[in-house]
Structure 1
């Protein structure tokens, strides 16, 4: 199989790793393929893709190490603004609920808020987190991380087609993802 193919190949054990990497695959497709190959199916879509590509090329795949934070106390119960945020606090449903009470249904744990919680050192309060929310609302919207390829595509597509419908977006997405990576344009 050559890398100049303009049609998405089937997932078979004969597929070369570089050709696998040229195409968009759903995680469920990759998971099923990994099962048929008898290799691990866990991890992110990116890790799974790299693991399969290494297997197809006969290379050893070195699993990434995941640093697990030390167990910590998590906020629970009735929260108040003066509560200290413990180191390692997750963006949990309890914390989300408190923010929804304070800010209303538009609240989301966006990149800025996830970053705030990731950087807490045990001296910040929920009121500090609320202040951070307000301070970061006027920041320019950042492009979603690479693993959120559909979100990145949709954001870009809507900038170019502000009056476009969801159906038009989905049709454009299908056309985009059916192209090999090296032949794709942006939305």
Structure 2
């Protein structure tokens, strides 16, 4: 079965049975007057609602105004509604080194740690790096491709990335979930 093009005639259950790129989702939104802001999951929910009701689901989140950040030191408290900025990046690169990166896990820690200090953040960064070295990190739901490729190689360490991608393309064209299964190797035959 070929994956259907995303269109307003399909049902939300049919839409949710297939994998679509974020670019396809935002193009659909633009064509149908839906907001394109937010992450892939939020946009997909908006489209499903539209397909069910024919109505536009308003953005549930109001735009947050980025807090004004003064001088940052290790004793400075992390502000509510933390936003990763160049000022923050410069601070962490100065304290941690050029290898610093706003890893997803670290961003989540920062956003959930208002009131703690930037010194605490540096300690948390190193703890997160250690956890990352120890094992399998959690990949967020919207990164289905990354999860699929990681799981493919966990089961098929001798296969190539080209083979993994070929299986991914086969899988995303099928209805249902997009998790790796041994049956996906059918695409290599």
TM bin (shorter chain): 0.7 to 0.9
Is 97-106 or 137-146 further displaced after alignment? 97-106
Distance in 1 between residues matched to 2:128 and 2:8, nearest whole Å? 48
Matching residue of 2:18: 23
Matching residue of 1:135: 127
SS of residue matched to 1:136: helix
Alignment of 1:61-76 (within 5 A): 62-63=57-58, 65-66=60-61, 72-75=67-70
- Give 1:110's match in structure 2, choosing from 85, 103, 106: 103
SS of residue matched to 2:45: helix
Is 94-103 or 12-21 further displaced after alignment? 94-103
SS of residue matched to 1:120: coil
TM-fit CA distance, 1:116: 2.6
Is 55-64 or 17-26 further displaced after alignment? 55-64
Structure 1, unmatched stretches of 5+, are 1-5
Distance in 2 between residues matched to 1:36 and 1:90, nearest whole Å? 31
Cα displacement string for residues 135-168 of structure 1 (whole angstroms, at most 9, x for unaligned residues): 2333244321111212222222232334544333
Structure 2, unmatched stretches of 5+, are 182-189
SS of residue matched to 1:108: coil
Alignment of 1:38-117 (within 5 A): 38-58=33-53, 60=55, 62-63=57-58, 65-66=60-61, 72-75=67-70, 79-117=72-110
Q: Answer 1 or 2: which has greater helix percent.
A: 2
Matching residue of 2:168: 173
Contact 1:75 1:95 in 2 (8 A): no
Structure-1-length-normalised TM-score: 0.75
Distance in 2 between residues matched to 1:15 and 1:89, nearest whole Å? 39
Distance in 1 between residues matched to 2:137 and 2:41, nearest whole Å? 21
